[in-house]
Amino acid sequence: MSKQDRNFDDIAEHFLTKIYGSQKGYIRLARLWTDFQNFLPELFSGDKLSVLDAGGGFGQLSFELAQLGHNAVLSDISKEMLNLAQRTHLSELSNSELLGEYQYVHSPIQALSDHLPGSSFDFVMCHAVLEWVIDPKDVLTHVIKFVKPGGYFSLTVYNKGAVYFRNLLKGNFRWVDRWMEQMDDPNADPALTMIKGRSLTPPGPLLPDTVETWLSELNCQVIKQTGIRVLDDYLNKHLTKGHSQEDILEKESYFGVRSPYCSMGRYVHFLGQKLY
C-alpha cells in the first residue's frame, strides 16, 4: 500500500452521513443492486456463492448478499469504517447464522492476500476505490486476482469525462484547464492530486476506456457497462422539488443502462467475468 492512499478513519462518520445519508448515496446503492438483479442472475439463483467486498467501506451491498445466503468478506483500509459497518450490521441482524457467513478484514487491498492466503471468490466487488489510490491499475490487479476463473466482478470508478463535463456546464473553464493539464500529464506525480482533510471529492477520476483496457489485459470480459448518477448530477435542483427520489431513480435506471447516457454517469459500473 502506498502511504498516500486515502484512509477515511478520520472522517468515517462524516462519510457515512454525507454520502449514504444523501440522495446520491441512495441512487448509488439502488442502481448497483438493480444492475445485479438485471445482469447477474447467478447472485439470485439460490446457490451459495463466496463474495469479497474489497475496499467495501460500510459493506451495505455485501451484507445484503449475505442475507441472501452468500458467504461474504468485507475488507477495508479504514478500521473506523469497519467498526461502523459491524455495529450497523449487528443492529440490523435478524438471523444469527449470518455472523458465520460474514467476515471483516482490516487491510488495504494490496495486502489482502496476507489475510486471505490462497482465497478466491465467485463474486468480487470493488466500488469507488480506484479513484482514491496512487496506483489504480495495481490495485485493480490485486482485486482481480481474487476472482475465480469464470467468476464475476463488479467495479465502479469515478468518471473523468463526467467530471470535466459537469464543470464545463458550470462555467469552470479555468478549473478544467488546470485539472486537465495536471491529470493528463503522464509525468505528473499522482500523489500531488491526493486530497486530504474532509473532502469527499475523489482526486483520481478515470476514463472508462482506460479501465476497460486494464480489465482486458487482466483476462476479464465486461458483460455490461452502466452509468450511475447519469441524471441527478445534472439536474437543476430548483426544478426537482416536485419529484421524489423514486421518480429520479426510475429515470436513472432507464437511462443509466442506455447509450450514450451511460457514459455520462458520475460513476461508471463495470460488471464482468474473469475468463481464466
Q: What is the tens place of the pLDDT at every residue in 81-113?
A: 999 999 888 887 765 556 458 999 999 999 999
In terms of Cβ atoms closer than 10 Å to its own Cβ (0-12, 13-18, 19+), residue 267 is buried
Say whether 5 counts as a known binding-site residue.
no
> How high is the pLDDT of residue 22?
73
To the nearest whole percent, how much of the chain has pLDDT over 90? 62
> How high is the pLDDT of residue 228?
96
Lowest mean pLDDT among 66-75, 219-228, 230-239: 230-239
Query: Which residue do the cell numbers 473523468 mark?
Result: 160
Distance between alpha carbon 89 and the CA centroid of its chain, in Å? 19
Distance between alpha carbon 86 and the CA centroid of its chain, in Å? 19
> How high is the pLDDT of residue 25?
85
> How high is the pLDDT of residue 186?
58
> How high is the pLDDT of residue 174?
87
Q: Could you tell me which residue, 80 or 196, shows the higher pLDDT?
A: 80
**Cα separation, 126 vs 128, whole angstroms:** 7
**Cα separation, 220 vs 154, whole angstroms:** 11
Say whether 76 counts as a known binding-site residue.
yes
One CATH from 3.30.450.20, 3.40.50.360, 3.30.70.141, 3.40.50.150 for 8-274: 3.40.50.150
Say whether 150 counts as a known binding-site residue.
no
Domain boundaries of the chain, sorted by first residue: 8-274
Inter-residue contact 194 to 6 (CB < 8 Å): yes
pTM: 0.88
> How high is the pLDDT of residue 178?
81
Tell me the per-residue pLDDT of 128-144, one tens digit each, with 9 for 90 and over: 999 999 999 999 999 99
220 forms beta bridges with 274
Say whether 127 counts as a known binding-site residue.
yes
**Cα separation, 68 vs 199, whole angstroms:** 35
> How high is the pLDDT of residue 177?
84
> How high is the pLDDT of residue 9?
62
Q: Could you tell me the CA-to-CA distances from 237 to 23, 147, 158, 266 in Å, in that order?
A: 12, 40, 22, 16
> How high is the pLDDT of residue 194?
47
> How high is the pLDDT of residue 259?
93
**Cα separation, 261 vs 255, whole angstroms:** 6
Inter-residue contact 82 to 58 (CB < 8 Å): no
> How high is the pLDDT of residue 195?
47
To the nearest whole percent, how much of the chain has pLDDT over 70? 83
CB neighbours (10 Å) of residue 41? 9
Q: All 3 cell numbers of residue 181? A: 493539464
Long-range contact pairs involving 16-19 (C-beta distance under 8 Å, separation at least 24): 16/58, 16/84, 18/200, 19/200
Say whether 56 counts as a known binding-site residue.
yes
The one-letter code for the residue type at 91 is S
Give the mean pLDDT of the chain: 87
